[in-house]
Amino acid sequence: MRRRKSNSSFGVLFVFVLIVAAALYVYFSATFERNAPAITLQNSNGYWNLKKPLKVKISDASGIQSYKIVMHTKDGDKTLQYEQFLTPEKELILEVEPPRGSYTMKDKEIKLLVQAQDISKWNFLKGNLAQQSFKLKIDKKRPRVSIVSNSYKISRGGSALVVFRVEDENIDDIYILSNHNKHFKAQPFYKEGYYIALLAWPVKDSGFKATVIATDFAGNVAKSYVPLYLKNKEYRLSRITLSDKFLKGKIYELSEEFEETQGVDNKLEQFKIINEDVREKNEKLIHKITSVVPDEMISDFKIKKMYPLKNGQVVAYFGDHRKYYYKGKFVSEAYHLGLDMASHAMAPIKTQNGGKVVYADFNGLYGNMPILSHGLGLYTLYGHCSNVDVTLDEDVPPNSKIATTGKSGYAMGDHLHFGVLVQGIEVRPQEWMDKQWIKLNISDIIKNAKKIIDEQ
């Protein structure tokens, strides 16, 4: 009798252990995972233009058994995609095309219903089911872009101005794209929906084309070409022979300053590193600082002609393409992207236009170098200074002394390297030193644009 009771107790215990083991197996086994598939809509801001496909991502640890995508409109539901898998997928990236004829529908808003089921044995072998509903606003119209006023021409290495209008309720991005993939930022101007931007044709580029591009949240794109006459200005090509005196003097002196030339003893290699690597590093900093364009709306942009050095004589021109040789062998090359001016030692440097100091420090080959922002992405740069009289973030009034000329950095004698930049691109300072050029290409364009805007 006791034996039977013992056997019975053992049997009950055994069954209990089996049940617990089975429960633990179900609970911890990947076969019975309990997480429903994850569903995301990847390329939508809540808008759809019914042209480009939507991208839906479905993922699941155990594997996806089936999915279904349905579009709900006022006229009812329409299945866009449905699929069951013999071999489950753990991740799907689906391109959901709009149904045929949907571009003519009148709905301003639809719902996209996505359902996915995995192969898990959870839920009494039915698996985990996920459902996601996405509300999408329908926007089939492209933004309207129209050029209001612009400079008549642009020269290689020069600047131009454009004012344009963009109309769209769901605007996402507005910019001006050049044929060399430079994105120029436009600033809100005068009245709602209008924009203004300075353009620049880099001196190293053989051609120039600017196109205003406006995109909305639904992915609709509008383009408008800026009609500019192109003047392919020629610049000097200089062949410069390097002397041993120069290499053992100025270049050796500079090589002691820069980390890039530490441990390099060959004088030609030192020159090449300084002329290319150090210059590139210095210019990269300049381009970053001068690429900033304000976001706030402006109603005008007034600029006076620039002449920073009284009685200054030009000693080196903008755009000079310099090729360096040593004993008849080509060594390196560079472009001179400013205007060198000289008068007397430690001459005062003045700015005719007020601005904000965005840099006032040492910058390698440029030496002591203040940079001023004048608004609309226009900057002036003053290199090789002996002293800098302004500080970072200082607001400088017009006709202020900001520095004195010198020979800091890569300078053989006391002079000023005067640079003008538009959205990070060096442009011809001579244009901005010409009162008539400023009137025809800046002041008159703005005046004409405001007149047209007021009439609309």
The reply to whether 434 falls in a domain is: no
Q: How far apart are CA 236 and CA 168, in angstroms?
A: 46
One domain, residues 171 and 211: yes
Tell me: pLDDT of 26 over 50.
no
The verdict on residue 113 lying in a domain is yes
Domain span at 377: 237-423
| pLDDT greater than 90 at residue 127 | no
Tens digits of per-residue pLDDT, 86-103? 888 899 999 999 988 887
Structure tokens at 184: 């120029």
Query: CB of 97 within 8 A of CB of 64?
Result: no
pTM comes to 0.87
Quickly state the pLDDT bin for 43 (edges 50, 70, 90).
confident
pLDDT of residue 6 exceeding 70, the answer is no
Number of CB atoms found within 10 A of residue 164's CB: 24
Are the C-beta atoms of residues 53 and 69 closer than 8 Å to each other?
no
**Mean of the pLDDT values across residues 298-317?**
95
Kindly state whether residues 335 and 414 are assigned to the same domain.
yes
pLDDT greater than 70 at residue 204: yes
Final residue belonging to a domain, choices 112, 138, 164: 138
Residue 150: the pLDDT is 98
Percent of the chain with pLDDT over 90: 82
Distance CA 199, CA 187 (A): 12
Q: Per residue in 143-190, pLDDT tens?
A: 999 999 999 999 999 999 999 999 999 999 999 999 999 999 999 999
Where does the pLDDT of residue 25 fall: very low under 50, low under 70, confident under 90, or very high at 90 and above? very low
Residue 437 placed within a domain: no
pLDDT, tens digit, for every residue of 236-289? 999 999 999 999 999 999 999 999 999 999 999 999 999 999 999 999 999 999
CATH number, domain with residue 68: 2.60.40.10
Beta-carbon contacts of 16 under 8 Å, excluding residues fewer than 6 positions away, are none
> What mean pLDDT is reported for the chain?
92
Q: What CATH number has the domain bearing residue 348?
A: 2.70.70.10
CB 241, CB 332: distance < 8 Å: no
Measure the CA–CA gap between 425 and 277, rounded to whole angstroms. 19
Please state, in angstroms and rounded to a whole number, the distance separating the CA atoms of residues 363 and 388: 13
